[in-house]
Chain A
Amino acid sequence: MASAGIEKVRDWILGRHPERTELAEDVRLLDSRLVDSLSFVELVYVIEDASGAEIDFDSIDLEDFQTVAAIERAFFARGES
């Protein structure tokens, strides 16, 4: 079961794309342009708010943001246990 945190992230992405009603965890967010170069910073803020973690912009790993599943692994996994 997904954490409340990752659901906030998913809701934010869906909120930007009213034409979509669902977002599978393996959809490529950047390739599909669901997140673009200017909105990514908002995504980072949403993840920070939802996870409580601070993300260092200088050491961002793109792989951590490719899909909802990747975001969950990178930023929400610890809170799951």
Chain B
Amino acid sequence: MEPVSYTAQWMAAARAIESERDDALFVDPLARDLAVPRGFELIDRYEGGGLLPFITIRTKFLDDSIAELDNGIAQVVLIAAGMDTRAFRLDWPEGTVVYEVDHGALLAEKDRRLAALGARPKVDRRAVPADLTREWLPDLEKAGFDPSRPTLWVAEALTFFLTEEQAAGLLGTLGGASAPGSRLALDILGRALLRSPFSRTFLDTLRADGTPWIFGTDEPEEFLAANGWKVRELREPGQPGVGEGRWPYEVQSRNRRGANRLWLIRAEIVGH
């Protein structure tokens, strides 16, 4: 498997660990089987720096982004879905279609494991094998996606691994396939986190593993606006409703210089 597949296992391991807590923010009974063989080892390898609570809080934030969906949106696209199991564990409105886009080898392995577990999706789930570094919208449309209908796009833990140009291009691509009323839920790193000497060891480890964190911004509203999206909600872990009580750090006020930001974002398409 490719290196990014191992980060998918890492996130599945984080979800498995969360699911076993008494105060779990969500329960993902499939995560443990999707995390092998390397997920738990990577939890240890990347330990520290708030990653485990961050993955948990982000998962819940994006779950909530789906739960608050307007009735007008009946197609949801999980971009670089990895070992995500939302199609199996969330309740979906009747008639919703969920597209999971990721590279073919990962999706095939995921489907093989899910089938062995007897897992049944709770929604019309369609796996879309695609190479996200090339033009992939045709693959999505082939699976049934209709760009004339509003969409919720979910890009979880994706922009980190892109360059700024690639991240901008992704937002532009999504925007171009978004009917009025479409929404986007995603997370973006702050820049300070990527520049901090205190993050160096962790960032070097990710780089050595072939999955460097590259892109971050301290001006997420401007970045989204420049690429066709208007931020509706901008949150940070530890705020009320976003992992308050589960985040082991202080939430820093917006103007505090040097602070490490992990942006959780809900946005809407700007009218064409």
Taking CB as reference atom, which chain B residue is nearest A55?
B258
Interface residues of B in 216-269 (CB under 8 A from A): 248-250, 252, 256-260
Asked whether any CB of chain A lies closer than 8 Å to the CB of B95, the reply is no
CA–CA, A57 to B218, complex, Å? 15
- Interchain CB contact under 8 A, A41 and B258: yes
Sample (12) of A-B pairs whose CB atoms are under 8 Å apart: A30-B198, A33-B47, A35-B198, A36-B50, A37-B49, A37-B260, A38-B249, A38-B260, A40-B198, A41-B192, A41-B260, A44-B258
Asked whether any CB of chain A lies closer than 8 Å to the CB of B118, the reply is no
Question: In terms of DSSP, what is the predominant structure of the interface of chain B?
Answer: loop
- Interchain CB contact under 8 A, B202 and A37: yes
What total of chain B residues lie within 8 Å of the partner, measured CB to CB? 23
Bits for B197-217, please: 1 = Cβ < 8 Å to A, else 0.
Answer: 111111000000000000000
- Interchain CB contact under 8 A, A39 and B197: no
Choose one: B47, B200, B249, B257; the contact of A39 (CB below 8 Å): B249
CA–CA, A44 to B50, complex, Å? 17
Interface residues of A in 13-52 (CB under 8 A from B): 30, 33, 35-42, 44-45
Q: How far is the CB of B188 from chain A (nearest CB, A)?
A: 16
- Interchain CB contact under 8 A, A42 and B196: no
Asked whether any CB of chain B lies closer than 8 Å to the CB of A60, the reply is yes
Number of A-B residue pairs, CB cutoff 8 Å, is 52
- Interchain CB contact under 8 A, A60 and B197: yes
Asked whether any CB of chain A lies closer than 8 Å to the CB of B155, the reply is no
Asked whether any CB of chain A lies closer than 8 Å to the CB of B193, the reply is yes
- Interchain CB contact under 8 A, A41 and B252: yes
* B197: A residues at CB distance < 8 A: 60-62
Taking CB as reference atom, which chain B residue is nearest A65?
B198
* B248: A residues at CB distance < 8 A: 39
| Given known contacts A30-B198, A42-B250, A62-B198, A37 and B257 CB-to-CB distance under 8 angstroms | no
Interface residues of A in 55-74 (CB under 8 A from B): 57-58, 60-62, 65
- Interchain CB contact under 8 A, A37 and B192: no
Interface residues of B in 148-199 (CB under 8 A from A): 192-193, 195-199
CA–CA, A61 to B200, complex, Å? 12
Choose one: A37, A42, A44, A57; the contact of B199 (CB below 8 Å): A37
* B198: A residues at CB distance < 8 A: 30, 35-37, 40-41, 62, 65
* A35: B residues at CB distance < 8 A: 198
Asked whether any CB of chain A lies closer than 8 Å to the CB of B72, the reply is no
Q: How far is the CB of B235 from chain A (nearest CB, A)?
A: 16
* A42: B residues at CB distance < 8 A: 249-250
CA–CA, A61 to B196, complex, Å? 10
